[in-house]
Every structure is written in structure tokens, then in C-alpha cells.
Amino acid sequence: MNCAVDMPSEEKSLMQSSEELLKIQDLKLYFFTLLGVVKALEGVELHLEKGDTLGLVGETGCGKSVTALSTIRLIPIPPAKIIEGKILFEGMDLAKMNEEEIRRIRGHKISVVFQEPTTSLNPVLKVGDQIAEVIRIHQDLAAEALEGKIDRLEAKEAWLESKGLSLVSGLLGLRRQIKDSEERRKNPPKPSRRDLRRAALAKAVQSLRLTGIPDPERAAERYPHELSGGMRQRVMIAIALACNPDLLIADEPTSSLDVTIQAQIIQLMRDLKKQMGSSILLITHHLGLVAHMCNKVTVMYAGRVVESATATELFKNPLHPYTRALLRSIPKIREKAERLDSIPGTVPDLLDPPPGCRFHPRCESALGLCKEQTPRLIEVSPHHFVSCHLLGAKRHD
Amino acid sequence: MTDDLVTVRELVKYFPIRGGLLGRVVGFVRAVDSVSFAVRKGETLGLVGESGCGKTTVGKTILRLIEPTSGEVFYGRENITKLTKSQVRKIRKNMQMIFQDPYMSLNPRMNVRQIVGEPLVVNKVASGTDLEERVARLAELVGLNPDHLNRYPHEFSGGQRQRIGVARALALNPGFVVLDEPTSALDVSVQAQILNLLKELQEKLGLTYLFISHDLSVVKHMSNRIGVMYVGKMVETGPTTELVNQPRHPYTQALFSAILDPDPEAEARRIVLTGDVPSPANPPKGCRFRPRCWLVSDKCKPDEPVMREIGRDHYVACHSC
């Protein structure tokens, strides 16, 4: 690419290594409930490359959260069941992994920021401990624990000497202990639980500092109810980023926050992405947020992907009737409109979805074919995928 | 002005905080702290602000669903705050409210016919076949099918439920309707349906709206004038186009710059405020926006700014602009 001349080296490396990080192929997931089978996902396709921020958009019940959460198996099985399809993450098929294997990935390589920070944090644990928990589970902290121990011993020795009590320090054998510990640096021993806790907490504070919380040492000692909504969401982000994940799933990360706080969190997520080089899968119904954060967009409707393209292409040249209608139905601050173009009807019930294209009952340009046949996702121009019979028909002409 | 339908003067609502063993009052949440504005006949006044700024409390106090601590509310020439309970009930025929959450504000044990007809029955306006007819007409007005009338709220989607809420609010032919976040529980495609319906009804029936929302794009679409609230205070009011294009108060500027339009190329110059919204139980002295403001000066701490006119019909409470 010749535009990469004055790009920061970090971004350049991201551009060059355009390798696949997450690839969901033809995923079908049904919920088997007492009322019947809810066909939540019906052949979902998703591609995410390293360094991407992919926006997954759609209305309530379109399956965007189910898609994202099923990648790390946070969907209860049963009642849910993956009928077919692959979820390839760095070449591994997550759909086929057992609980033990997935647990090593969840929170470590893929982590989630949930919508509602108030209900996702444990109210009886200090936030520092909640962040430290993830770190303790997924990281080998032997080296850090040893360093921490050496630092503490040295501080003790220095303090005693400053008080003129070097005799005591000699009696305690501090110097010898420090020497011992330093020699074991190459092959750190298994730390004691206390040292492990201390090391994890220190890392938790670092992680909190990254999210821009003022005075992170004190904040780590607080309980969730003592923090405001925006601060809680920062804690959630700190937990998610604690292990430097390759993929961050953000499920409506700002929709429970106030507008000005939303702006802060969006800014923070953008900055952290640049710093850490994680990829983001952003689930939201807010198209404005997608336009500002994402380089790729996938639009879902009633359990299927209807359109997928780069962000600039999708907002400039939306092709699926649903995407077009959705964009028209949003009131825009810089445009004057007397009436909004709404989409008639409501989202279909997935217990009994309409046959053929699931959007056809609400589509203004539906053909006879739409009722009978499910359209396939086709690439109409490079990286622009649409599943609609209208476009297929145009291509044949 | 003579065409003011609803006038609010120095409205104050403090909620007591009780604490300690005896449950004594230990402080006050200053939800609404001396707010004044007027809604003109036939217009929509938008009220925006972040959670806890007191916008819903203002709406409810106007209808006396909450008793104000002090201040006056006039409907036409009638001082509502001075009325007795039974008098209030009479005037409430003219003033109705549509609530935010259509899942919580409809009685699950009543069918649509009963829900929409209840205000007519309670106020002894109609009965028998007259009632039937009026309910059917209301249902048609908001776009519900006649066969929907025998169903119960749980059988409807969010948008349909909100239509039921609208029909109920309009049953008594009110002149003034308070809309408290009427679409924030709905999906965008359905939100557009409801917003269109509300606009149509306003034209058809000559309604006056107080439109409360935190979503600025929606408020801008619906309103003739906008009032911006921050921690219990009104900080700026003005005609919609002027407020959107030239917001004067720094808070309004930050609020409008935080809107994300669905256009990746509109690289907006965004103002990201630091810090959190202060608690209305313990607001900062002087100007309440002071701790987050970038135009802060020496004047802001001792003196609380008052509303002053800076353009035609455009008021701002700020020392620095």
C-alpha cells in the first residue's frame, strides 16, 4: 500500500498483516424452548481481520448479541444449540471446543465489555480484586511476584538503615534474602498466595490507570456502588483489557451511559485500541456510533446477515433495502426533515419467521421470488456483500 | 405573552433524604431548582439533559403527579399549584402524559379496550355505545386495528404498546401532553413510526407538547424550541435551529458536539468533557457546570448565573458567553 508512508509504525504493521482473526461461517444456532424452536441465527457469516473494528448492527432480537456471545460460548447450552457452522478464531474452531479449552480463551484472548456495568460487576468485591482475578487466572505471575518481593525487602532494608538500625536488618538476614531471591530470577519459584495476590493487584492498578481513572490506587480499593456509571464502565474495560486480548467484544458499551460520558468512553476505546492493537467487535443498534468507530460494518436482520461492507462504503452506498430504510429512519442533527421514513410493521417473531427473505413482509420492493427463496450473501463489489434478490436480478440483466 | 399555554415560574422540587435511626431529614436532593419557562399553544418544547438533571421531575410536577416544593405552574390563566385535589383532577383532562416505558405503564390485566376507555369511564365522559365508539375511534387514530382492542398488553410489540399509551393519553381530548422519553425504549425503525404519529396527531388535533428526551437528534426533529437542563437548572433555551447551529452555553456546545450522525466522513470537532455529572444532592456552588467547564472564570464560583436574553427568544445562564 503506498499510502502508508507517514503512518505510525504500529498502524503500518497492522495494515500489512491483514490476517484473519475471527471468521464465522454459516453459523446456525437455535434455542429449544417450551414454546418451540427459536431460530435465532440462520447462517451467519462474519469476517474480522487483525486490527479491524467491526460494527455488528441491527435491531432488538436480530441476533447480534447471540452471534457475538456464542463465539465465546456465553450462550447457555441447552436451551441453545449450535446446529451447524464454524467459528474460526486464529485457526481454531471455537464451536467444537469443550468448556475447559474455551475457558482458556475467554477473558484472555477474547474478552467482553457488557452493556450494563452495574449488573456485570460483583457488588461485594472491590473493583481491584475483580480485575486481579482475571489476571491471576490467565497469567503466570511468578516473575512479577518475585520482583515485588525483592522490592519490598529492599524497601525494608533501606528504611531500617535510615533509622540507624542496620544491626536489626543484619539479624533478620535481609541482605541474604534479597541475594537469594535475585539469584532465582532466571527460574522464578511458585509464589506464595500472598505474593501472587499482591502482584495481580499491582497489575490491576496498572490496567485501571490505562483507562484514565483518576487516582487508580484508591479506585481499586472501592466497591462498584461507590463509582459512577462512567467509572464502572472504565472498570469493565480494565477487566476486559487486563490480559491484552486479541479480540475485544463490546456489547452496547455506551448505551446505558449519558451523552457526555458516552463521548468519554468512545474516546477511551479508540485510544486504547491504538495503544494495544486489539481488534474490536462492536455490537450496537446505534449507527452513529458505528460510523465513528468502525472500519467495517455488518448489518443483521432477524438472524441473518443482510449486508456487510467497509464503513465508508456502507454509509455512502447502502444496497440492501433494510439498511437503506434503517439509515433513513434516523433523525439527523444536521438535516431538516418534516417526516421520518419509517419501516412499516415490526421485527418478525423468530419462533415463526417468514419464509424466504425474512425482510420481505416489510420491504417496499419485494418480488414474488422473495417469499419463496432465501437470498444468498453475494459479493456485489469488492468487500461489499449483500443478500437480496433485487441485486441478484439486476446482475443477471 | 398571551399565547402561552403552560407557564412555569421558579419551579422548585427538593426531595428529602432521610437517614439515621429516627429517619430524620439529613439533606435534600435538589432535583429541580428554580426553573422557569413557557410552552406556547401548538408548539413543541423539547427538554433535554442527562440522567438526573430533573427533566422528568419538571414534567411530572407540571401535572402535579409530584407536588412542587415551591413555584407556580399556570395552565392558561389557572394557577395549577393552588388548586385542590379534586380541581386538579378536572384540569388534568386537559393535560396528559405519555410515559417512557410502554412495558411498565400499561396494566397487564386490562385489555386494550379497558385501558383506552378507562379515562373516559373514570371521568364519566362516556358510557355504553358512546364509549365503544370513542374507543374505536381512538384506536383508529393511533393506527391500531379494531381486533386489537380485545387483546392484552403482553401480546403487543413495544411500538404497538406505545400506540396504546398514546390513545389512552388522547382519550380526553387534552390540549397539552407531556411526552417523557416516548421512544427511548423502542428500536429505531419503530421509533420513526411513533415520532411520525405524534407529529401527525399534533397537526390534526392542535396539541401542545412538552417533549422530554436525552436524545438530541430526536428532540431536534420534534421541537420548535429547546430547553437544556443541567443538574436541576435550565442553562439555555432558544429556537431549535438557532440552538443547534449556534449553541452558546458551553454545556450545550458539548452536548451537541457529542451527537454521532451516521456518516463516517463527518469528522466532527468534538468536545469531550472531563469528569462526571455532579450529584443533585450536593451540587457545586455558583454555576453548577463550573467543575467541567473550559470557560470558567473567577465570577463562576461566587455567583450563580441567571438567565439573560442574548438573541431573539434565546436565553442563556452563563457568565462567560
Q: What DSSP line would sit under A128-169, residue for residue?
A: HHHHHHHHHHHS--HHHHHHHHHHHHHHHHHHHHHTT-HHHH
| Distance between A303 CA and the closest CA of chain B, angstroms | 16
The answer, for B188 touching chain A at a CB cutoff of 8 Å, is yes
Residue A273 has pLDDT above 90, yes or no: no
- Is A292 within 8 Å of B260 when comparing Cβ atoms? yes
Residues 235-274 of chain A with CB under 8 A from chain B are 258-264, 267
| Distance between A311 CA and the closest CA of chain B, angstroms | 7
**Partners of residue A343 in chain B, C-beta under 8 Å:** 189-190, 192-193
Candidates A104, A111, A110, A113; CA nearest to A139 is A104
d(CA A201, CA A300): 40
If you average pLDDT over residues B217-229, what whole number do you get?
92
Cell numbers for A271, please give them.
Answer: 485510544
Best of B214, B255, B263, B288 to substitute, by most chain A Cβ atoms within 10 angstroms, is B263
pLDDT at A389: 87
- Is A228 within 8 Å of B276 when comparing Cβ atoms? yes
The answer, for B244 touching chain A at a CB cutoff of 8 Å, is yes
pLDDT band at A13 (very low <50, low <70, confident <90, very high): very low
Residue B234 has pLDDT above 90, yes or no: yes
What b/e string do you get for B83-95 counting C-beta neighbours within 10 Å, with b at 16 or more? beeeebeeebebb
| Distance between B91 CA and the closest CA of chain A, angstroms | 32
If you average pLDDT over residues B248-263, what whole number do you get?
86
Highest mean pLDDT among A112-116, A208-212, A328-332, B58-62: B58-62
If you average pLDDT over residues A198-227, what whole number do you get?
85
A125 burial (CB, 10 Å; 0-12 / 13-18 / 19+) is: middle
Which of A249-253, A259-263, A280-284, B290-294 is the least confident region?
A259-263
Q: Which residue has better confidence, B7 or A275? A: B7
- Is B217 within 8 Å of A258 when comparing Cβ atoms? no
Q: Could you give the percent of chain B with pLDDT greater than 90?
A: 45
**Partners of residue A289 in chain B, C-beta under 8 Å:** 260
Residue B78 has pLDDT above 50, yes or no: yes
A311-323 per-position pLDDT tens digit: 989 998 999 999 9
What's the whole-model pTM score? 0.80
- For residue A301, give every residue at least 6 positions away whose Cβ sits within 8 Å of its Cβ, in sequence order, or none: A58, A59, A62, A322, A347, A358, A359
Residue A36 has pLDDT above 90, yes or no: no
| Distance between A178 CA and the closest CA of chain B, angstroms | 43
**Partners of residue B265 in chain A, C-beta under 8 Å:** 312, 315
If you average pLDDT over residues A22-50, what whole number do you get?
88
Q: Is B23 helix (H, G, I), strand (E, B) or coil?
A: coil
- Is B50 within 8 Å of A259 when comparing Cβ atoms? yes
- For residue A326, give every residue at least 6 positions away whose Cβ sits within 8 Å of its Cβ, in sequence order, or none: A59, A287, A299, A343, B188, B189
B6-43 per-position pLDDT tens digit: 999 999 999 988 877 778 888 888 889 989 999 999 99
What would the DSSP string read from start to end of A236-276? HHHHHHTT--SEEEEESTTTTS-HHHHHHHHHHHHHHHHHH
A92-134 per-position pLDDT tens digit: 888 888 888 888 888 888 888 888 777 888 889 999 899 998 8
Which of A266-275, A329-338, A371-380 is the least confident region?
A329-338
The answer, for B21 touching chain A at a CB cutoff of 8 Å, is no
Cα A55 from chain centroid?
Answer: 10
Cell numbers for B86, please give them.
Answer: 379534586
Q: Could you give the percent of chain A with pLDDT greater than 70?
A: 94
- Is A311 within 8 Å of B51 when comparing Cβ atoms? no
If you average pLDDT over residues B295-313, what whole number do you get?
88
ipTM score of the complex? 0.76
The answer, for A231 touching chain B at a CB cutoff of 8 Å, is yes
Residue B280 has pLDDT above 80, yes or no: yes
Candidates A198, A274, A218, A210; CA nearest to A241 is A210
Residue B1 has pLDDT above 80, yes or no: no
- CA-nearest residue to B157 within chain A is A346
**Partners of residue A291 in chain B, C-beta under 8 Å:** 260-264, 266
What is the average pLDDT score of chain A?
A: 83
The answer, for B201 touching chain A at a CB cutoff of 8 Å, is no
If you average pLDDT over residues A20-27, what whole number do you get?
89
If you average pLDDT over residues A235-258, what whole number do you get?
85
If you average pLDDT over residues A11-39, what whole number do you get?
76
- Is B258 within 8 Å of A262 when comparing Cβ atoms? yes
pLDDT at A212: 79
Residues 90-129 of chain B with CB under 8 A from chain A are none
- Is A339 within 8 Å of B196 when comparing Cβ atoms? yes
| Distance between A314 CA and the closest CA of chain B, angstroms | 10
| Distance between A284 CA and the closest CA of chain B, angstroms | 11
What is the average pLDDT score of chain B?
A: 88
Residue A12 has pLDDT above 60, yes or no: no
Element (H, E) at A49: strand A36-49
If you average pLDDT over residues A73-87, what whole number do you get?
84
If you average pLDDT over residues A287-303, what whole number do you get?
90
The answer, for B89 touching chain A at a CB cutoff of 8 Å, is no
pLDDT at A15: 45
3-state secondary structure B52-117: CCCHHHHHHHHCCCCCCCEEEEEECCEEHHHCCHHHHHHHCCCEEEECCCCCCCCCCCCCHHHHHH
pLDDT at B267: 62
* Among the partner residues B214, B220, B265, nearest to A259 by beta-carbon distance: B214
pLDDT at A282: 92
Beta A92-93 vs A80-89: how paired, if at all? antiparallel
Amino acid symbol at A242: A
pLDDT band at A392 (very low <50, low <70, confident <90, very high): low
Cell numbers for B95, please give them.
Answer: 393535560
- Is B218 within 8 Å of A331 when comparing Cβ atoms? yes
pLDDT at A393: 57
d(CA B228, CA A308): 38
Candidates B179, B163, B31; CA nearest to B95 is B179
Beta A110-113 vs A247-251: how paired, if at all? parallel
Residue B260 has pLDDT above 90, yes or no: no
**Partners of residue A311 in chain B, C-beta under 8 Å:** 264
Residue B272 has pLDDT above 90, yes or no: no
pLDDT at A2: 40
